[in-house]
Amino acid sequence: MTIPLDRIDQHILAILARQGRISYRALAEQVHLTPRPCQARVRKLERAGIIRGYHAELALPQHDSVVVLVQVALSDQSGRAAQQAFEHAMLACEQVEDCWLVSGEFNYQLRLRCRDLAQFHQLSAAWLENPQLRIGRLLSSPQLQQIKLGR
């Protein structure tokens, strides 16, 4: 369902993107509404699928995990079946935090969080050996330091 977003809806979305746990009262004050109409707008945005969920932003200690950015090129570009198989596998993999279909030399950009590089190596080896995924090439870059968290 697509709904038009006015200035107040956009302001609500911007605030919730930064502060997902803000109270309706505080949110209403920031967008210059009373709490009940503000809550009604949030519910409308949720029902429309514009707000898909609320998440905790984690800052795990560096020694507890490793983040790896991975570019994936599929070997078989003959149809959507290869993409669907790959996307299904990524949705099911708990280490995959983000997966984007991209244009260019690679088909997908991933962000994984693994226990360590050995776990990433095992996971990527299993992907490469799986003929259903049709992965032609992986390019991985382990994160050294997080400079800025995007929003």
The confidence score (pLDDT) of residue 77 equals: 63
Question: Is residue 78 very low, low, confident or very high in pLDDT (cuts 50, 70, 90)?
Answer: low
pLDDT (tens digit, 9 = 90+) per residue, 90-122? 999 999 999 999 999 999 999 999 999 999 999
Torsion of CA 125, 122, 86, 64, to 10 degrees: -150
Which amino acid, residue 64? D
The larger pLDDT score, comparing residue 149 to residue 131, is at 131
Under the banding of pLDDT at 50, 70 and 90, the label for residue 151 is: low
Residue closest to 108 by CA, chosen among 78, 68, 145, 135? 135
Write out the two tokens for 93.
């993999």
Written as six digits, the tokens of 107 are 């088909």
| pLDDT score of 60 more than 80 | no
13-32 mean pLDDT: 93
**What pLDDT band is residue 63 in, cutting at 50, 70 and 90?**
low
Question: Strand order of the sheet with strand 135-142?
Answer: 96-101, 108-114, 66-74, 135-142
More confident residue, 119 or 78: 119
**Beta-strand (E) ranges in 45-95?**
66-74
